[in-house]
Structure formats: C-alpha cells, structure tokens
Structure 1
C-alpha cells in the first residue's frame, strides 16, 4: 500500500510539473503575441497623432508625442476642401465592383476546372497559374495602349477590368484547395433531383464556399483599395480619382500640408480595418479549409 501511494504521489508531482510548464508556456506565448500586436499597432498610433498635428508640430515634436492642440479640422479640411469625399466614394464602389466580379468569375472558373470534365481544363489552370509570374506593372504600357484604342482611358471600367484580371490567379489558387475538399455527393444528389448545373452552382456550391470566399474577398479588397499605379496612369479626371491618388492634392510645389496628408491616410485605412474586423473569423475558416485537400 505504501508503494502504491508513493507511486501516486510521484505521478501527481510529475503531472503538476507538466501543468506548471504548460501554464508558463502559455504565459510566454501571450507575452510574445501582445508584444507583436503592440509593434503592429505602432504605425497606426503614430499616424493618428500625425494627422492631428500642423506642419510645425510634425517636424518639431517627437513622433509619438501628443499634439499640443489636436487639429481635428484636418479631417474636415480633407473631406470638404480636399475633395476626399468624392475620392472615397470612388474607391468604395470601384473596389467593391472589382472584388465582386473577381470572386464570382474565379468561383465559376474553379468550379469548371475541378468539377467538369473537359480536355483543356489543365491547360487553362496552368495559364492562370503562369499569370501569377508576370510582374503587374510590366503590363502598364500595353494596357494603356489597349485601353486607349477602345476609348477606356479616363474610365473606371479600365481599373475594374485590370483589377479583375490580375486578382484572378491568386483567387483561383485559394479556391482550388477548398473545391477539391467539397463532397461530390451533395452535387450528385442535386443532379438526381433534376437540378441544372447553373442552379446547382449558385444554390448549393456557391453558398458552401462562403468561408473561403471571405478570405479571397478581403485579399482583393486590400489590393484594389491600395492600388496606385493603374489609377495614376489610366485616370486623369479629378472626379474619377481614388483615395490613393487624391492624397497628392496636399503636396504642393513649395509647401506640403502634412497634417492633411495624415488625415487622408487615416481615412483610407479605416475601411480596410473595419472590413477585416467583420470578416476575420471567416478568413481564418477559409484559410484552414482551403489548406485541406481530399
């Protein structure tokens, strides 16, 4: 009896030691994650303080110092006098239109490649994957020439078509793993019930991929929202420009309103942060689901 109780005491101490080590490991992990989070938030805090300063405070005060007199009027100035309201709306609708088209078309392409039997499916998939190797801005001159011939220069459609084309390969690549993992029994049952291919896709398959679609949507939104080169090249009318180009309005030949630039950048960041907060759970689900095949 004494030997049994001693063994139990030894096992209890070993279990307690493992539990303590596990707790210490979790504490260390949380400390590291908190440190990384603070490091990631540093630029946002700096930008917020930057946007509330005038030019003198920007250059004379330390980067993380609070402004002596917060200039909230910087936000009013850029929204009203700086025409940022128009640029903001242009960014919103162009980004959403390009993202919606990319997600729907990429889903249709992925469904055709993974679910339908046709000879050129592997070739089409290879062409899309090959497109990922092409530097985006190396196509700037050919695209400008093409859009100029079809009279799409200074037209938002040129931006939407460009964004859709360049985001298709990465979107298809993310969707592929998820589509391969989808059970075919559901589709087969719908076909037996008399469901057409189009109806099966939009009523059954498309809703089943909502988690991975959120992942592809946020990736598309971030790229489309922050894109600068194509907007600066294809769009010349002030009423059609987006936020990334509109920030140049506060850069003059002799003076630059740094506080207004900071306010514009802060306004441009907020929609992305809000979208990420709302879609963060779906993004994690989509990444996990898309990484499993079979």
Structure 2
C-alpha cells in the first residue's frame, strides 16, 4: 500500500505526540500574537484620534472648523493660530512658571524620596514597618481633602502666587507614592552588596549615592517622567495657591485662554499642542530608562 492511499487519520495517529503538541503550541502562540496586535492597533487608534483632531483643528481657520468635517485635513494650514496662541494666551510666561516649578520639585522630591526609601529598606530601627504603613497610607490621601488647610498655611506664610509656595506642597504630596515605589525597588537589590561595601569602609551615604542610586536609574527615570508629567499638568493646588495671572502655570493658562476666547478653537488647540512639547522632550530623553523601570519588577520576578 502506497503512502498516498493511507487515510489521513492513520497518518495523524502515527505522528509523534511531541510533534503534535509542538504544532498546537505554535498555533496557540500565533493566535495570542494576532490578538496582541489587534489590541495594539485599537489602542493606537483610541489615543491617536484626539491628537489628530487637535492637530487638524489647530491648523484650520474658523471658517474651515465650522464648515468642514473634523477629521478632514486642512488644505491651507493656518499657522497664525500658533502665533495668536503665543501672543494672546500668555504661553511663554505660563510655560516658564511650569518649567521652573517642575525643575525644582521633581529632582528634590526624588532625592528626598530615595533617601527615605533607602532608610526604610536598608537600615534597621524600631517601628520600621509602622512607619512604612503610614507612608503607604499617605499615598492614598486625595489632594482635594487638604486644599483648604493648605491654602491657610501658605497664606499665613505669605507664599501665595509664588513658586516656592507651590513647590513645597507638590514635594509633600509626592513623597509617599515615590517612597513606596522606591522602597520596593531597593528591597530587590541584594543586601550582599551593602555588606561588601561596608567591609571596604563605606558608610551609609556612600552606599546610597555610589551604589544604590546608580543601580536604581531605571526606577528613578520612570518616576522622573511620571512626576514631571504630573507636576506639569497639576491643576487643583495651582488653582488654589496661584492667585495672580503672572504666576499661572500651563493648566491655569489654558483655562484662562478658554474662558476668555471661548470660540477660538484653532488658537486654543494650538495652545494645547505647544504646551505638550516640554513633556514630550523629557519623555524622549529618558525613554530607555522609563521602559526598563516599568518592567524592572517583572523581570526580577
């Protein structure tokens, strides 16, 4: 009997069990890969639709905005919307305020959080777990609950409408979350490295600055990006503490521009797009470390 006359069922039964399982596993992986690609395409579409709408609207004249569909590209770009946003929206002043606040708040807050996390993860003292629990609970307190007493404190210190009056609360509210994240990352670094450094005469500060911080670059970079974005976009505290227009940050400037020029959709969208550039630059600078930090815990298992 030739091979061509053998029924397919007999051939399938003659195949080794391992080969059939391998084929099923490959097919299973292909289905998962296809599903992931579909999910990725859907996510890209969901996130890109508002961005495309903003870009198209920022380059249209008022007549084109109301006379053409939203997702029709502008055939004659209206670049004057960006000039008008810079001129009428006080973007440069608000951007400078947001940048100054972020450049001071983010590194100072990260340094204090890292030092606190190092003490909790590496040093041994009484009530250590209780203190860690209090810090973790502090990360759960909503900012809105403390705005009224915070306003009274800052007003009593005569720090309203100042950079330092906003930087201090930003640091305080950011410490619990950052300390909690860095504590878990520092605990994943082997303590044998500390013991080796101490045998060479290194103290706590030297271990912290020369060993722990360099090993924690991915986590620090991820927190830096997230903290910079959160500081740049923060609205509630800034609304309560920044009373004068000269001290406004980007979110307050956008709100002021929108309330003053309600129907100027072109300049408003141009204003919003330009306000995103600093955040995008920071992300591109630390992108590699951000990805490493995001998956560091998963890789360590």
SS in 2 for 1:49: helix
Q: Relative to 1, partners in 2 of residues 1:284 and 1:68: Cα closer, same or farther, differing over 3 Å? A: closer
In our comparison, the structure showing a higher alpha carbon Rg is: 2
Instruction: Find the partner of 1:88 among 85, 89, 95.
Output: 95
- Structure 1 residues 120-129 or 155-164, which shifts more? 120-129
Task: Indicate if the aligned counterparts of 2:56 and 2:73 stay in contact, CA closer than 8 A.
Answer: yes
CA distance in 1, matches of 2:18, 2:258: 71
Matched, 1:268 2:278: no
CA distance in 1, matches of 2:19, 2:123: 59
Which residue matches 1:140?
147
Matched, 1:180 2:187: yes
Matched, 1:26 2:24: no
Which residue matches 1:114?
121
Matched, 1:203 2:213: no
Instruction: Find the partner of 1:63 among 66, 70, 79.
Output: 70
SS in 1 for 2:225: helix
CA distance in 2, matches of 1:24, 1:130: 42
SS in 2 for 1:248: helix
Q: Relative to 1, partners in 2 of residues 1:111 and 1:253: Cα closer, same or farther, differing over 3 Å? A: closer
Shift of 1:95: 1.3
SS in 2 for 1:251: helix
Task: Indicate if the aligned counterparts of 2:60 and 2:74 stay in contact, CA closer than 8 A.
Answer: yes
- Unpaired runs of 5+ residues, structure 2, are 4-9
Matched, 1:78 2:85: yes
> Superposition RMSD on alpha carbons, in Å?
2.7
SS in 1 for 2:99: helix
Matched, 1:149 2:156: yes
Which residue matches 1:194?
201
Task: Indicate if the aligned counterparts of 1:94 and 1:160 stay in contact, CA closer than 8 A.
Answer: yes
CA distance in 2, matches of 1:171, 1:254: 38
Task: Indicate if the aligned counterparts of 2:102 and 2:228 stay in contact, CA closer than 8 A.
Answer: yes
Which residue matches 2:245?
238
- Unpaired runs of 5+ residues, structure 1, are none
Number of residue pairs the alignment of both structures matches: 293
CA distance in 2, matches of 1:277, 1:264: 21
